Amino acid sequence: MDRILTRTEEYLLLAVIKLGKSAYPVTIFNEIRKADTSGGTLGAIYLPLQRLEESGLLTSYLGHPTAERGGKSRRYYRITEDGLKALEAARKTQEAMWRGIKWVPAE
């Protein structure tokens, strides 16, 4: 893995894992919104998703169009082997950075 994931990318990958077969922008955005209640913009997740796909961490395929989407298809995302590796690396980095920190947050 040559590049460090951004926080957004990390969240996106995690959301895609959690959602399994039903991961597409609506559910992914919903998933992130559940964890991070500060809001966010639906339009802002497309470019990171595209870039993750460019780097081979995600793959995507088109679903069928439905009426409630105004006749548009869903683009479903799935994580790849590389995506999992990248997440693992991100996690290791995270843990390594936290290691040895004595500060305990006040509940």
Partner 1 sequence: MNGIPPLPRPPRLARRILGRIIPSRLKPTADGDFEEFFHLIREIDGPGKAVRWYWSQVVKSIPSFLFNGIYWRIVMFRSYLKTALRHMRRRPHLAAVNIGGLAVGLAGCVLASLFIRDELATDRFHQGLDRIYEVRSEVDMPGDKVSLETQGQVGPLLASSFPEVEAAVRLKKIDAVIRVGDQPFLRKGLAVDPSFFSVFSFHLDRGDPAGILQDPSSVILSRETAQQLFGDSDPVGRVLAFVIGSETHEMKVESVADIPARSSLDFGFLVPLARVAPKIDQGETDAACFIRLREGARPENLSALFPGSLDKHLPSFGTGGRHYLFPFADYHRGRGEHPFSSVLKPRSSPLFSALLSSIAALILLIAVFNFMNLSVGTAASDRVKEIGMRKVFGADRRKLFQQFRFEGVLLSLAALAGAFVLTGAILPAFNRFAEKDIRLLPADVGWILPVLAFLAVGVGIAAGSYPGWALNRNRPMELFRGTFLFGRRQTFSRTLLVLQFGISIFLVITTVFLYRQHRFLVTSDPGYDSERVAVLDLRLLAAEDRGGGGLLPVLKAKLLSHPEIQSVSGADCSLTSWSAQVVRRPGQSHPEFVRFNDVDTDYQNVLGLELKEGRWFSSEFPADASASVVVNETFAEKYAPSGPLGKSLAELLGTRSTARIIGVVRDFHYDSLHREIQPAMLNLNPIVSRWAYIRIKGNDLRQAVDIVEREFKAAAPGFPFQMSFLDQDVDRLYEKEARWSSMIGIVSLFAVLIACSGVFGLAVQITVRKRKEIGVRRVLGASVRQIAGLVNREFLAAAALAAVPAWPAAYLATRKFLSGYAYRAAPAVWIFFAGTLALAVLVALTVNLQAVRAARANPAVTLKNE
46 in contact with partner 1 (CB under 8 A)? yes
Rounded to 5°, angle at Cα 89 from 27 and 103: 90
Site track for partner 1 across 52-71, x = CB under 8 A: ----------x--xxxxxxx
E strand or H helix that includes residue 23? none
Minimum distance of partner 1 from residue 92's CB (angstroms): 29
Closest to partner 1 by CB, 41 vs 95, is: 41
- Our CB check for partner 1 shows the closer of 47 and 84 to be 47
Q: Where are the alpha helices (H) located in 1-107, listed in sequence order?
A: 7-19, 25-35, 46-54, 81-98
* DSSP H or E segment with residue 5: none
4 binds partner 1 (CB under 8 A): no
**Interface pattern 12-41 for partner 1 (x via CB under 8 A):** ------------xxx--xx----------x
Closest CA to 87 of 7, 8, 10: 10
